[in-house]
Amino acid sequence: MTAIRRRAILAGTAALPLFAITRGAHAATFKLKMANNSPVTHPQSVRQKEAAERIRKATNGEVDIQLFPNNQLGSDTDMLSQLRTGAIDYFTLSGLILATLVPAASINGVGFAFKDYPTVWKTMDGKLGAYVRDQISQHGLLAMDKMWDNGFRQITSSTRPIKTPADLKGFKIRVPISPLWTSMFEAFGASPISINFSEVYSALQTKIAEGQENPLSLIQIAKLYEVQKYCSLTSHMWDGFWMLANPASFKRLPPAAQKIVADELNRAALEERDDIAKLNASVEADLKSKGLQFIEVDKPAFRAKLKSAGFYAEWKKKYGDHAWGLLESEVGTLT
């Protein structure tokens, strides 16, 4: 046997220990970082931690993902940069904020597109979701198949109740950093201010912003009700998180480990969706008991305002006929 061949065989066997049963403590081969912007008690963080644990077990400790929840590694904007350089390996980000890099990724947030959750999941687990994932990969990131639920977003305020679209005129509302959000609240005549979630509580407390909009589950878990008085049930958009991976980091894992990671993250996303669905059953009553005043609004009136402001026509043009067609084939005509 030549020296070269012997070396090749040795190199081959060196790769074998992945999943090999070992005795005692075993140093992890891949120490990876996962990050998010959600409080530690949010189902997103809980399910990500569980998934990391299952991945560790299924790979005999060789894929060791550590979770950094609650903006511990920075704001969404910071974490997106870190994901791209590989300083973070996995990161869940709202499709709308991801749109600062991948324009198509905000399409699920088009105002009043989805009437309910079954339509959301059919669309985002279907052709439109596949289209967006493809766009994400064309921009140098990898998205797992299953989106995580953030929720239907509702408007809160500390100054005055928002009852009609006209009440939004001049309203200083915090929105996440995303062209779609700014455009939508400008179409309502509001004064949107783009702020990362890591700064939202203090922005509301100090009245830099009068209001904000988020799903009830997050208003509850992030305790935004402490600094807000009114909540208008607009459900003006559905927002979800993509589980993004740094592609080079993911591809360094052996194929069997890649499959375990993807399967477990997708499973965790489905579990998180269920958790939010369960929370949704009780969250309004809980927030009422904490003093938040709820307002039922005429949603079609809000939608009509967006339409007359040219919002749908503008965004149809931006996304293009193909993407817009994929959305409308699930939700019906929007323009």
- What does the binding site for ligand X2X look like in residue numbers (CB under 6 A)? 37, 94, 97, 150, 176, 197, 214, 218, 239
- Alpha carbons 221 and 164: distance in angstroms, whole number: 27
CB nearer to ligand X2X: pick between 37 and 228: 37
Q: What is the nearest approach in angstroms of ligand X2X to the Cβ of residue 75?
A: 9
Residue 269 Cβ, how far from ligand X2X at the closest point, in Å? 15
Q: Whole-number minimum distance, CB 276 to ligand X2X, in Å?
A: 12
SS3 35: strand
Cβ proximity to ligand X2X: between 63 and 107 the closer is 107
Q: Which is nearer to ligand X2X, 210 or 239 (CB)?
A: 239
CA distance 182 to 157: 17
Q: CB of residue 72 vs ligand X2X: minimum separation in angstroms?
A: 15
Q: How far is the CB of 224 from ligand X2X (least distance, A)?
A: 9
Separation CA 288–CA 295 (nearest Å): 11
Residues 83, 53: contact at Cβ < 8 Å?
no
Cβ proximity to ligand X2X: between 176 and 192 the closer is 176
Residue with tokens 């929370």: 279
Give the dihedral sign, CA 261/264/269/270.
positive
Residue closer to ligand X2X by CB (options 30, 148) is 148
Q: Minimal CA–CA distance to 100: which of 170, 196, 16?
A: 196
Nearest distance from C-beta of residue 162 to ligand X2X, angstroms: 17
Residue type for position 149: D
Residue 234 in 3-state DSSP?
coil
- The Cα–Cα gap between 67 and 45 comes to 8
Residue with tokens 């669905």: 277
Question: 242 — phi, psi (to 5°)?
Answer: -90, 135
Q: Of the two residues 55 and 104, which places its CB atom closer to ligand X2X in the complex?
A: 104
